[in-house]
Amino acid sequence: MSGYFSVASLRFLAQLSANNNKAWFNEHKAQYEQHVRQPFLQLITDIAPDIEAISPHFRADPRTVGGSLYRIQRDARYSHDKSPYKGWQGCRFYHEHRRLQIVPLFYLHLQPGNCFLGGGLWHPEPANLQKVRQFIFDNPASWERAAHAPAITTRFVLEQDEKLQRPPRGYPADHPFIEDLKQRNWVYSRALSEAEICSPQLRQTLVADYTTLAPFIDYLCAALDLEF
């Protein structure tokens, strides 16, 4: 039994990064479909019942437009980098209310030398950023169980980008989870080796890790008044 992705999947993305222009992509689009896009869509289709079992309010959506798979095209309108394509492909399994606000999600990232899976809340709106901080402040014991259980902390790494240097205004510096209150994002992730990403057992690996992360995602949903 073969896996969803292969060395050819990673090789295509590496070549795309080195030849990031429309002419090259159009010439090699069949390889993109065969080795990256179609395997991703198949994985999303196959994992849908597993995601529903983790939470009936989360979706694995295999639609080619507006579904779980991110576009390979970059939105370069507001960027100095005008490269038309990403050098990676990712997908997210998201909460059903994602069109109303930025929501917690489970994630998979395919990129040469930087494959990983994870879950959490990325770049929430300011009001929801404050909601999560206040929820952690008000419910520290349940936060400890959800976000600092050994099953999570020994396997995953908490994203530290964009973290505040000082405590957010209104929160005491001696709070037991002040470092978590400084976060602007709450995301746990772990790296995937090439062997893992190309394994026939990739789906099972994702389900096991997403299940481990579920209490953390559940807590973030509760903070935002979302069902899990």
Mean pLDDT of 58-68: 94
* DSSP 8-class letter at 57: T
How large is the average pLDDT for residues 54-66?
95
pLDDT tops 90 at residue 210 = yes
What's the domain count of the chain?
1
Instruction: Give a yes or no: residue 20 inside a domain.
Output: yes
Task: Note whether residue 64 is domain-resident.
Answer: yes
Residue 76 has pLDDT above 80, yes or no: no
Q: Is residue 1 part of a domain?
A: no
For residue 185, the Cα-to-chain-centroid distance in whole angstroms is 12
130: in domain? yes
HSE, CB side, 13 Å, CA atoms: give it for residue 47. Answer: 35
- Count CB neighbours of 107 within 10 A: 21
175 lies in some domain: yes
Bridge-based pairing state of the strands 116-121 and 157-158: unpaired
pLDDT > 90? residue 75: no
Give the length of the chain: 228
**HSE (CB half, 13 Å, CA atoms) of 92?**
16
Determine, yes or no, domain membership for 91.
yes
Evaluate if residue 77 carries a pLDDT over 90. no
Q: Is the pLDDT of residue 49 over 90?
A: yes
User: Which of 214, 213, 57, 216 minimizes the C-alpha distance to 142?
Assistant: 216
Query: Which tokens in the block code for residue 183?
Result: 């976060």
| pLDDT tens per residue across span 156-200 | 999 998 899 999 999 999 999 999 999 999 999 999 999 999 999
For residue 13, the domain's CATH number is 3.30.930.20
Looking at residue 161, what is its pLDDT? 85
Place of tokens 């090259």: 24
Residue 228 in any domain: the answer is no
- Whether 127 has a pLDDT exceeding 80, the answer reads yes
Residue 1 has pLDDT above 90, yes or no: no
* Average pLDDT value for the chain: 95
Say if CB 29 and CB 19 are below 8 A apart: no
* Domain of residue 59, residue span: 7-223
Residue 227: predicted pLDDT = 95
Q: Is the pLDDT of residue 82 over 90?
A: no
110 lies in some domain: yes
Residue 81: the pLDDT is 78
- Beta-bridged to residue 140, according to DSSP, are none
Res 2 pLDDT > 90: no
Q: How confident is the model at residue 78 (pLDDT cuts 50, 70, 90)?
A: confident
- Distances in Å between the Cα of 121 and the Cα atoms of 166, 172, 201, 207 are 21, 23, 26, 19
Is residue 101 predicted with pLDDT exceeding 90? no
Say what the pLDDT of residue 159 is.
Answer: 92
- Mean per-residue pLDDT, 34-50: 98
What tokens appear for 141 in the block?
């014991």
Torsion 145-147-220-128 (CA) sign: positive
What is the pLDDT, as a whole number, of residue 79?
Answer: 74
Mean pLDDT, residues 141-153 taken together = 97
